[in-house]
């Protein structure tokens, strides 16, 4: 690969690898801040990866102040997204209802509610009987406590991806799908990205490839410790609307919501599969369907005769300490990563992308750059504010 082989149109100031919601949102926010010559690359079509395979939940109930504050901002971005981007994302603010089976889980729930209230969230700690007032179909006898925040929401993921893509393109961002990056080399101060369509030069690279980020980092000579974990979701036939909040059992990881079209959409945690090669697995399993069906019927017995229409899988991108990984990759100056969000990258993408773009444009970094810095896995230090989030579902 030589410099002479690079066409003028194949030179970018910033190349983003990954056209999921995170990569597209970063590209859009960069362009909105005046960045020129931005190129987004993806090996597949829009919404093919995790951004098109998630349940669309957008919640502000977390156990750390930073995540609560971030998601308050992200939820506001989501609330105005349809108006600003001129695309319907079917946002429905029915709240999140969390259910606890044990006293230990109830105690954690109470602590979290106290912190959320200090952050001006209207979350309430309620009894199982109160939960049944919210959702009369619930079988609440297994539960000892619950909490509810009416301002949490659910959106339809695909229009979110399309909205960012269209808005970014209008601001001059080039988006090339079906174009994998197969090698990354240093070329002076730039990076040379090899693709089937020819080489591309980029001054800076942002790896927003989710569960595929470790493979992309290896191409650049770096290393990332996150791993892919398969999680599955199902959708039922449409039912008459009855379920206003997203309902989640915090100990089993089961969650379910109802779309505006009437389908129930949800998932449940399964034991992590052995995966020493850290391959991304997307196939669906009968074990998931069985556990989810049993969990749903136990939670709401009236669902026993409801038909499942389809099920699918997507990759969670899990870091060793459960926190995301952001910033410049150790040993690869100019190569930035944003990954390791578990199952919550979609809901955090609007706010993380806003602050990430500001940082890349030279503005002071948001505190998450210190708390989630990539170097924490190589320098052996625990960054301040990097406490582990304990309210993880799905």
Least Cα distance to 345 among 213, 199, 170 occurs for: 213
Residues 105 and 162 in one domain: no
Residues 302 and 179 in one domain: no
Residues 218 and 335 in one domain: yes
Residues 203 and 271 in one domain: no
CATH of the domain at 310: 3.30.9.10
Task: Name residues of the chain where pLDDT drops below 70.
Answer: 1-9, 380-394
- What the block records as the tokens of 43 is 């090996």
Round to whole Å and give the CA distance between 220 and 196.
Answer: 17
Residues 306 and 326 in one domain: no
Query: Locate tokens 């942002």: which residue?
Result: 206
- Residue 58 covered by a domain: no
> Which of 314, 349, 366 is the last residue in one of the domains?
314
- Residue 135 covered by a domain: yes
- Residue 191 covered by a domain: yes
What are the angstrom distances between the C-alpha of 303 and each of 41, 81, 112, 240, 246? 42, 33, 31, 12, 16
Residues 197 and 285 in one domain: no
> Which of 314, 349, 367 is the last residue in one of the domains?
314
Residues 354 and 287 in one domain: no
- Residue 139 covered by a domain: yes
- Residue 231 covered by a domain: yes
Round to whole Å and give the CA distance between 114 and 156.
Answer: 30
Residue 4: the pLDDT is 38
Query: Locate tokens 């197969």: which residue?
Result: 182
- Residue 98 covered by a domain: yes
> Which of 314, 346, 371 is the last residue in one of the domains?
314
Residues 245 and 209 in one domain: no
* Contacts (Cβ under 8 Å, ≥6 apart) of 100: 106, 108, 109, 143, 144, 145, 146, 250, 251
How many structural domains compose the chain? 2
Question: What ranges make up the beta strands (E) of 286-328?
Answer: 308-318, 325-328
Residues 307 and 238 in one domain: yes
pLDDT single digits (tens) 352-393:
999 999 999 999 999 999 999 999 988 766 554 446 666 666
User: How many of the other CB atoms lie within 10 Å of CB of 137?
Assistant: 13
CATH of the domain at 219: 3.50.50.60
Which of helix, strand or coil describes residue 25? helix
Could you tell me if 89 and 158 are in contact, meaning their C-beta atoms sit under 8 angstroms apart?
no
* Ramachandran bin of 308, using left for φ above 0, alpha for ψ from -120 to 50, beta for the remaining angles: beta
CA angle 253, 373, 220 (to 5 degrees): 100
- Residue 61 covered by a domain: no
- Residue 371 covered by a domain: yes
Round to whole Å and give the CA distance between 215 and 223.
Answer: 8
Q: Which domain holds residue 258?
A: 93-151+227-314
Residues 165 and 146 in one domain: no
Beta strands 96-100 and 145-149, pairing class? antiparallel
Residue 1: the pLDDT is 33
Residue 205: the pLDDT is 98
Residues 282 and 336 in one domain: no
Residues 133 and 165 in one domain: no
């Amino acid at each position: 690969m030589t410099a002479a082989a690079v066409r003028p149109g194949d030179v970018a100031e910033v190349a983003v690898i990954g056209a999921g919601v995170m990569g597209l949102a970063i590209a859009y926010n960069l362009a909105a801040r005046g960045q020129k010559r931005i190129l987004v690359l993806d090996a597949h079509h829009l919404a093919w990866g995790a951004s098109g395979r998630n349940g669309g939940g957008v919640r502000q109930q977390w156990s750390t102040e930073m995540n609560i504050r971030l998601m308050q901002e992200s939820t506001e971005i989501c609330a105005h997204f349809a108006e600003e981007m001129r695309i319907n994302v079917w946002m429905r603010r029915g709240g999140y209802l969390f259910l606890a089976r044990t006293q230990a889980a109830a105690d954690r729930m109470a602590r979290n509610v106290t912190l959320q209230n200090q952050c001006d969230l209207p979350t309430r700690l309620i009894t199982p009987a109160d939960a049944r007032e919210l959702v009369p179909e619930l079988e609440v006898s297994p539960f000892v406590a619950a909490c509810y925040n009416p301002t949490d929401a659910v959106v339809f993921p695909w229009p979110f991806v399309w909205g960012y893509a269209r808005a970014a393109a209008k601001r001059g961002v080039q988006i090339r799908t079906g174009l994998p990056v197969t090698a990354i080399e240093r070329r002076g101060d730039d990076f040379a990205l090899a693709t089937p369509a020819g080489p591309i030069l980029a001054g800076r690279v942002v790896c927003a490839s989710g569960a595929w980020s470790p493979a992309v980092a290896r191409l650049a000579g770096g290393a990332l410790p996150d791993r892919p974990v398969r999680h599955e979701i199902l959708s039922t036939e449409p039912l008459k609307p009855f379920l206003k909040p997203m309902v989640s059992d915090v100990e089993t990881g089961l969650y379910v919501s109802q779309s505006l079209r009437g389908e129930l959409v949800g998932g449940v945690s399964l034991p992590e599969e052995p995966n020493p090669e850290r391959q991304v697995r997307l196939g669906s399993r009968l074990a998931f369907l069985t556990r989810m069906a049993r969990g749903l019927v136990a939670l709401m017995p009236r669902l026993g005769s409801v038909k499942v229409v389809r099920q699918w899988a997507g990759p969670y991108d899990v870091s060793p300490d459960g926190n995301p990984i952001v910033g410049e990759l150790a040993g690869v100056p100019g190569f930035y990563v944003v990954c390791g969000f578990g199952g919550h990258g979609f809901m955090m993408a609007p706010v993380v992308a806003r602050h990430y773009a500001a940082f890349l444009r030279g503005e002071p970094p948001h505190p998450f750059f210190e708390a989630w810095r990539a170097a924490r896995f190589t320098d052996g230090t625990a960054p301040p504010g990097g406490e582990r989030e304990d309210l993880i579902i799905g």
